[in-house]
Structure 1
């Protein structure tokens, strides 16, 4: 039973075959960009086995997922079906760039309203279960409460919990939730960052409210691969063995082979074409972190002082509805873009991150270390200058810098309340892009990327695990 993952859109068509309507899969994402994207990417992989996939959300969030995806076009895949459900209206508050905790509290109203997807989702599950032999629900770990009743009462519905963060982070969360201290050992480095300032209290309460629903799941799904996190997948397997719950490393979900487009290319890719190999650092901090004006100024000056080529994505963070209302225009120092026109490129719209990371001119990535960005960077073999902001990012940074050794710190999490000065930015960029240490790290990242991509090919560990997962859900 083999399947070639290298062809990301059609890899299921030459190996394991599944008849339509025998088994269908329903994806239930959490309404934040990093979560929406991962389950849409997983939809592409599952659908390549000729399994119909039903992607559930509001019209706005489904559109957000589709227009922002990169590396493939959801409209070109016939068996991914989008369901636009309504939820109660919610207030879309502006982000606060000056908050002590960088977690986005302005999105909480949307998060709360999304828990009202239960009724339309129930109707969909009842409908699908009446015609399909089996309905597989893959839901975000923060959305289990939305569907648990149907999972319990409909005999041919089976659910799997998707964790949007690294296996490393999940293992640490489980360990702490059991009241155990995190002691350094062969798998766990010393000085693991605390969770202080990673989340708001309201969001932590929301996470806690989902724990009880996980006992009804048939397994856990991760966007990782054993090339990267075999030690932590093994640790998770030990933790869930007594409950006979299996953990599946099915990533990377993102395409690992990018075919260059000849038409309608983003202007930053045209700019990258003119640069030397491995000469550009890509700077982006995701969709949920708002920097204040003082920090933006220091970052701008530091990038300029480094004298390294850069692409800097400068845009405000997402609102609860990314298509409505005004967006704050991030102000740079006067005349800044003209002053760096020979070394840097400022991008203010949505950028094709995967294509940027895959471009041969890109040699480094200054990142918040959200798990999407980490997986995309590692699969493309690009080292990271890590600047964590909230959520799982501080612990992802430890995995990247101390365990895998394919990145450096911009700022230690212990100093998160302090501004990152222009000199700190300059030092980090220079270390990553113009030092022997950076060159060695780039070689290590390139080798890791090669191994990750190899794992997706026929016979590779990720391809084999995905085949095993599909065989399991279609048994």
Structure 2
């Protein structure tokens, strides 16, 4: 553990869940906090800290001198492979890494917190909503406070919390009218139990932080603040998104430009569909086959990221199997480059979505992907698989009306056939309805970017949070 230096006025400690979307969003948030001159201590195992730094996009964490990475000791844990044929698409293979983090990181985190509290006037601990042991440890120090960070939308968080605490009889909440929805299949029983223990501990937090924007979901942010566990001292949540950079850097030119960006350079404006189901989602060979045929039949240009889902340790030797061409029809990629390109490594998603040739995003609807797509004004084809993704898909299609469903959650146990893929892609990319969705998405993207400027809601909430922890 590094030398923490002389006495400081305020410091922030970050405690992420060891999964890509959670590591990514909290490292982006660390950049924003550190840009205000506040030291940030990013905690996790050496493996997961390395993952966060290796995969960050739009800026280089090694250039930010007041972000301090603490590699906390974590014993070896099982790294099972994903199961693409599982009926429940939740990444159950990551549960051992979640359990190991909660069981083994608590003690070294507590030691770090004690050291920081002895040299710092005030320590703000920002923890993932399912790493709430950090809130308990913070309560042992008079000069420490914990804040719950939600890596999901307020829309999702609102319904998740209602599911845990029960639906209120008070009609003052005035819930919007939405289609009937079942959470069946969103999680495994093991992860539901895992979440349940942590939801109870969020009552210890001093407030809640959202990677969202009031331009996207102001109604649901207001509803969240009315729930019993909205925070002890600051009932209005801090809404500070989008956290990812809007103006992108290329790590000082240290990374070569990805080949898919060179291909995008040659395509007409807003003509390309970006296809990616995130880092933790698995699809079977049959699903890949149907998607491949549907994309080709749609006759729409595409960039498709086709990789095996992450394991708990992405650097373990058995994890390096993403180059396999499983599921694609024979000779599928021969002569494909006129229409599309298949990417089998880690793709520069921010740069793809920001590219002028990108006109749509066929997505699993993880919240980071949704935020990134919306901030660049790109409409979505929704293909939810698990967790908060079905809620995000509903927000995109039913509330914001900037997307079309390609995989209906009500039929999530069925294989999406190529004909349905073709219809959904053409609807998004080649119809008047799709053009209207793109117009709304571009307007929303402008409003989101304005929220980050002086006088914008997200900038004001970040200013408010920094002022709050600096008192």
Q: TM-score range by the shorter chain?
A: over 0.9
Residue number in structure 1 paired with 2:398: 402
The within-5 A match list for 1:307-456 is 307-326=299-318, 327-328=320-321, 329-331=324-326, 332-456=328-452
- How much does 1:166 deviate? 0.4
Q: Size of the alignment, in residue pairs?
A: 455
Structure 1: gaps (5+ residues): 1-18
- How much does 1:177 deviate? 2.6
Q: 1:78 to 1:99 in 2, by over 3 A?
A: same
Q: 1:23 to 1:337 in 2, by over 3 A?
A: same
Partner residue of 1:195 out of 175, 183, 186:
183
Q: 1:338 to 1:305 in 2, by over 3 A?
A: same
Residue number in structure 2 paired with 1:163: 150
The SS at the match of 1:26 is strand
Partner residue of 1:220 out of 197, 200, 208:
208
- How much does 1:133 deviate? 0.7
The runs of at least 4 consecutive aligned structure 1 residues that moved more than 6 Å come to 260-263
Residue number in structure 2 paired with 1:275: 267
**Residues in 2 aligned to 1:111 and 1:242: alpha-carbon distance in whole angstroms:** 25
Partner residue of 2:80 out of 85, 93, 115:
93
Taking structure 2 as the reference length, the TM-score comes to 0.93
CA deviation profile, 1:17-67 (whole Å, cap 9, x unmatched): xx9921000000000001110100000000000000000001110011111
The SS at the match of 1:100 is coil
- How much does 1:90 deviate? 1.1
- How much does 1:190 deviate? 2.4
Partner residue of 1:251 out of 241, 253, 277:
241
Residue number in structure 2 paired with 1:135: 123
Q: 1:38 to 1:26 in 2, by over 3 A?
A: same
Residue number in structure 1 paired with 2:62: 75
The within-5 A match list for 1:233-312 is 233-240=221-228, 243-246=232-235, 247-258=237-248, 264-312=256-304
Taking structure 1 as the reference length, the TM-score comes to 0.93
Residue number in structure 1 paired with 2:3: none
Partner residue of 1:113 out of 97, 100, 106:
100
**Residues in 2 aligned to 1:142 and 1:174: alpha-carbon distance in whole angstroms:** 13
Structure 2: gaps (5+ residues): 1-5
**Residues in 1 aligned to 2:153 and 2:268: alpha-carbon distance in whole angstroms:** 33
Task: Indicate conservation of the 8 Å contact 1:189/1:403, yes or no.
Answer: no
CA deviation profile, 1:385-404 (whole Å, cap 9, x unmatched): 00000000001100010001
The SS at the match of 1:122 is helix
The SS at the match of 1:341 is helix
The SS at the match of 1:153 is coil
- How much does 1:176 deviate? 2.7
Q: CA RMSD in A?
A: 1.8
- How much does 1:239 deviate? 2.0
Residue number in structure 2 paired with 1:10: none
- How much does 1:88 deviate? 2.4
- How much does 1:245 deviate? 4.0
**Residues in 2 aligned to 1:89 and 1:447: alpha-carbon distance in whole angstroms:** 48
Partner residue of 1:209 out of 176, 191, 197:
197
CA deviation profile, 1:273-332 (whole Å, cap 9, x unmatched): 111100000000001111111110000001111111100001100011000123442422
- How much does 1:259 deviate? 5.0
Partner residue of 1:180 out of 130, 155, 167:
167
The SS at the match of 2:88 is coil
**Residues in 1 aligned to 2:439 and 2:174: alpha-carbon distance in whole angstroms:** 24
Residue number in structure 2 paired with 1:12: none
Matching of residue 52 in structure 1 with residue 44 in structure 2: no
The SS at the match of 2:362 is strand
Task: Indicate conservation of the 8 Å contact 1:315/1:349, yes or no.
Answer: yes
Q: 1:38 to 1:293 in 2, by over 3 A?
A: same
Task: Indicate conservation of the 8 Å contact 1:20/1:51, yes or no.
Answer: no
Task: Indicate conservation of the 8 Å contact 1:250/1:466, yes or no.
Answer: yes
**Residues in 2 aligned to 1:236 and 1:293: alpha-carbon distance in whole angstroms:** 40
